[in-house]
Amino acid sequence: MSDITEKCYNSLLNDISPDVGRDTIPKHYYSIGEVAEKLKVPNTLLRFWEKEFNLKPNRNRIGRRRYSVKDLQSIEQIYRLLKIELYTIKGAKRQLKIQDDKNKRWNKVFKSKKS
């Protein structure tokens, strides 16, 4: 990733979840409109990513999506892969699977060292 792209991406991450890791009270859920506005993508693209990448955001009583910080992290990864690193959907899915497998291995190693 180029330096300019990296700076834009880091700026994007700070914009979408500015409260995470700060002293202020974090916002627990974000609407689809808030997420779409921060990423500068249409709501329909987020809905499409939900279907393609099996995302399951919580919903409120009237059925509106409520994205958690964990959901935002997943969406940020998808955004980075598709929009910044220019992966295809198939390639992004493959990359996410590789990352997930690595995380599972690290968790397994960490748990075995803890015991």
* Per-residue pLDDT, 110: 73
> How many Å apart are CA 106 and CA 38, to the nearest integer?
32
Domains of the chain, start order = 3-87 (1.10.1660.10)
Phi, psi of 79 (to 5 degrees): -60, -50
* Per-residue pLDDT, 19: 47
pTM: 0.74
Question: pLDDT tens-digit profile of 17-45?
Answer: 544 444 556 789 999 999 999 999 999 99
> How many Å apart are CA 39 and CA 36, to the nearest integer?
5
Q: Is the pLDDT score of 9 beyond 60?
A: no
Q: How many helical (H) and strand (E) elements, i.e. helices and strands, does the chain have?
A: 5, 2
Mean of per-residue pLDDT scores for the chain: 84
- Tally of CB atoms within 10 A around 3: 7
Percent of the chain with pLDDT over 70: 77
